[in-house]
Amino acid sequence: MIVVGGGIAACTVALALRRRGCQVTIVQAPGLAGAATPASAGMIAPQYESHPADPTFRLGVASARLYPEFVSGLNALAGGEVELLGGGMLVANYSSSEREAAAVAVRGQRAEGLEAEVLDTAAALRIDPAASRDVDSFLWLPDSARLDCRLLSENLARAIDATGVRRVSARAVGLTVEGGRAGGVRLADGAVVKGTGVVLAAGCWSAGLAGLPRRLPVRPVRGQILRLASARLPTGPVLADHAGRYLVPRAGGALAGSTMDEAGFEPEVTDVGRASIRDAVRRLCPAAGEAAADAAWAGLRPVSDDGSPIVGPDPDLEGLHYATGYGRSGILLAPLLAEIVADLALAREPGAEWQAFSIDRFEGVAAAVRSPDRE
C-alpha cells in the first residue's frame, strides 16, 4: 500500500496499516514549506470550537480518548519523549451573548457525559491568576490536553522507520491506474512507485495530484503562530477565545495563535498576522502583550469545502482512499481517522462511523476531472 504525504495524517495511516500486517511505502515530498503538523500548537481539545450537533464532535472526543495510548505507543516505537500534558482550557466569554452560547454548549456536552462549566471571572482566576479580569466569564473545559508537535513530528518519522515502512523522499505528481484500480503514483522525476492501493494523505497538497477521478475540495488555509518568551505567562491551562485565538503554555513562555488566512500556498508570517495575534492574546492575558516573540512560523492547514475531514474510499476508483481535509483538527483527529482509513483500505469494517466524511458528499459540486495516467 502506498501512502502519499508526510504529516500526521500520512504517518498515522502508515503505522495503522503496518499494525495490520500490510507492506507500506510512504511517499513524502522533501522540504515542503508550511507543513501543518510541526507548526501546530498541539491542542487536544475536542470540546473547543465544537458542539454535539457538529458531525466531527464525537469523532474528536473518541480520538482524544485514544491519545494516552497513542503517545505511549509512539514513544515506545521511536524512543522519544513526547508528553501529553493536561491542564484544561479556559475560554473567555467577552459578552453576555458569548456566555449564553457557552452555557448552551455546556448543556450539550454534559448530555454527552463530558465535563464543562461556565465560571465567573473570580473562579477562573483561581485556576489561572494570569488570565484577564476584563471579561464577562469563562468556559472551563478541564479535560483538554496538549503536546509539543515538533517533538511529535520527529517521533512519527522515527516510528515510521522503526516499523519497516519503506520511505520514498520525492514529490508524487500523478496517480497511475492499472486494470481500473489505483496502482501507484508517478514521481516528479518520472519514476513510478507501485502498490496494491493508494492512500492520499498529503494535507493541503492532496488536490494537486494529477489523475484523480474527481475534484478534491481541499485548500490551504494559513495559520500563523508566535512563540512568546516570558516567565510571567500562564503555566496551567490553555487560554483561548471563541474566535480561535489562544495562548498555549510552553516551558519559559507560550505559543500565541492563530490566524485563518486564505493566502494560498504562502507560509509567510505577516505584520498583520502578528498584530492580530498580539491584540487577541493581550485581551486573554495582559502579560502576553508585554512578552517578546523569539520565534514565529506559519502552517498551511488542509481545509475542505465544508470544513470536515475527507476519509475513506473513492466511490469510482478502486484502490484509492482519502485521508485529508482535517483542517484545524488534524492533531486531534489523526489517531482515530488512521484506524478508520486503514480498515477501509484493507476492506475491513471500521469500528467507528465514517460515512459522513466520505468524498461522495460533494457529488453535487461540479468537478474538472483529469484523465489518470495509464500503465
DSSP state of 30: T
Structure confidence by residue, pLDDT tens digits, 264-323: 999 999 999 999 999 999 999 999 988 999 999 999 999 999 999 999 999 999 999 999
Residues 253-266 as b/e (b if ≥16 CB within 10 A, e otherwise) read: bbbbbbbebebeee
**How confident is the model over 61-75, as a mean pLDDT?**
97
Gyration radius of the chain's alpha carbons? 21
Structure confidence by residue, pLDDT tens digits, 170-203: 999 999 999 999 999 999 999 999 999 999 999 9
Grouping H, G, I as helix, E, B as strand and the rest as coil, residue 302 is strand
Can you tell me the distance from the alpha carbon of 57 to that of 116, in angstroms, rounded to the nearest whole number?
14
Q: Grid coordinates representing 193?
A: 512507485
Q: Grid coordinates representing 235?
A: 503555566
Residue 371, pLDDT above cutoff 60: no
pLDDT for res 102: 96
Which residues, listed in sequence order, are joined to residue 229 by a DSSP beta bridge? Answer: 253, 292
- Among residues 129, 144, 138, the alpha carbon closest in space to that of 47 is found at 144
* Grid cell 485563518 in the structure block, residue: 260
Q: Is 111 exposed, middle or buried (0-12, 13-18, 19+ CB in 10 A)?
A: exposed
Can you tell me the distance from the alpha carbon of 3 to that of 336, in angstroms, rounded to the nearest whole number?
17
Grouping H, G, I as helix, E, B as strand and the rest as coil, residue 57 is helix
- The single-letter code of the amino acid at 118 is V
- Please tell me which residue, 310 or 53, carries the higher pLDDT value: 310
Instruction: Provide the Cα torsion 231, 236, 238, 239; round to 10°.
Output: -70
Residue 129, pLDDT above cutoff 90: yes
Q: Are 62 and 336 in contact (CB under 8 A)?
A: yes
Instruction: Provide the Cα torsion 358, 362, 368, 371; round to 10°.
Output: 20
Residues in the chain: 375
DSSP state of 261: B
Mean pLDDT (the chain, rounded): 94
DSSP state of 204: G
Q: Grid coordinates representing 122?
A: 473570580
Can you tell me the distance from the alpha carbon of 5 to that of 324, in angstroms, rounded to the nearest whole number?
10
pLDDT for res 290: 85
Q: Are 210 and 370 in contact (CB under 8 A)?
A: yes
Grouping H, G, I as helix, E, B as strand and the rest as coil, residue 349 is coil
Q: Are 334 and 326 in contact (CB under 8 A)?
A: yes
Residue 12's Cβ-side half-sphere holds a number of Cα atoms within 13 Å equal to 27
Q: 352: pLDDT confidence band, cut at 50, 70 and 90?
A: confident
Structure confidence by residue, pLDDT tens digits, 73-117: 999 999 988 999 999 999 999 999 999 999 999 999 999 999 999
DSSP state of 21: T
- In degrees and rounded to multiples of 5, residue 80 shows phi and psi of -100, 180
pLDDT for res 52: 83
DSSP state of 65: H
pLDDT for res 177: 96
Can you tell me the distance from the alpha carbon of 75 to that of 66, in angstroms, rounded to the nearest whole number?
14
pLDDT for res 368: 38
DSSP state of 225: E
**How confident is the model over 42-50, as a mean pLDDT?**
94
pLDDT for res 360: 94
Angle at 291 between CA 286 and CA 292, to 5 degrees: 155
pTM: 0.94
Q: Are 354 and 340 in contact (CB under 8 A)?
A: yes
Residue 223, pLDDT above cutoff 70: yes
